[in-house]
A = this chain, B = another copy of it.
Amino acid sequence: MTQKADTNFKREAKRGSHDFKLACQVLDAGKICHVGFTIDDQPYVVPMAYARQGNQLLIHGSVASRLVNSLASGLRCCVTVTHFDGLVYARSTFNSSMNYRSTMVFGTARLIDDPDEKRKSIQALVDHLMPGRRADLRKSTIKELNATSLLSLPIETFSTKCRTGPPSDSKSDMDAPVWAGVVPFELTAGEPVDSPDLLPGTVRPDYL
């Protein structure tokens, strides 16, 4: 295995981890990743839907997309999943911070060619992104499968960084008569919005 990515923690090493379980927790809690790759010395960072399946990350795109074609050609990439968990209000600007969990996976993705593997990977994506939905949807056609590209990135070289908890203020600031604490943030689902062209009598499924 060529392990070129430098996953040593340069800063705030106490917030860093190479634990696989923790990385899986962070990855499984998200729906959007940011995929980084470079073409002609210009980095691109593109948001994509993804799912984890065992020790691989599945990334899905159109066969026509630049990202898919670049990654399928063997370009190295970095896939980052971040959860913004809160604003940390310290007693100084300097110690103000954010709570977050972020996992970076480095490597080279592989295009999933095998039709069976592709179908199963699409199922894994749907199950992750829209749990419960799959049973309601018809089988994908061959034409649809052919128009979809799926990439698999092994979760082998990776790192996770998290910050949690209250602010860490300097001792000299502890007498400041100012509020300190955390405002938590969370990505929350709202009330489902029916499609305007729903067939009469269609009810919202329980999995929403």
Q: Which residues of A contact B (CB under 8 A)?
A: 4-6, 10-11, 31-32, 34-47, 49, 62, 64-66, 76-80, 82, 84, 86-87, 89, 91-94, 96, 98, 100, 102, 104, 106, 122, 126, 129-130, 133-134, 136-138, 140-141, 144, 147-148, 166-167, 169, 173-199, 202-205, 208
Copies in the complex: 2
Contact B42 A6 (CB under 8 A): yes
Chain B's closest residue to A9 (CB) is B66
Q: When the two chains form their complex, are residues A166 and B196 in contact, meaning their CB atoms are under 8 A apart? A: yes
Report whether B195 and A80 are in contact in the complex, using a CB–CB cutoff of 8 Å.
Answer: no
Question: Are B80 and A45 touching (Cβ within 8 A)?
Answer: yes
Known contacts A39-B6, A199-B175: A45-B79 contact under CB 8 Å? yes
**Which of A40, A47, A177, A182 has most B Cβ within 10 Å?**
A47
Closest Cβ of chain B to A126, distance in Å, is: 6
- The residue in chain B whose Cβ has the minimal distance to the Cβ of A133 is B89
Distance from A83 Cβ to chain B, minimum over Cβ atoms (Å): 9
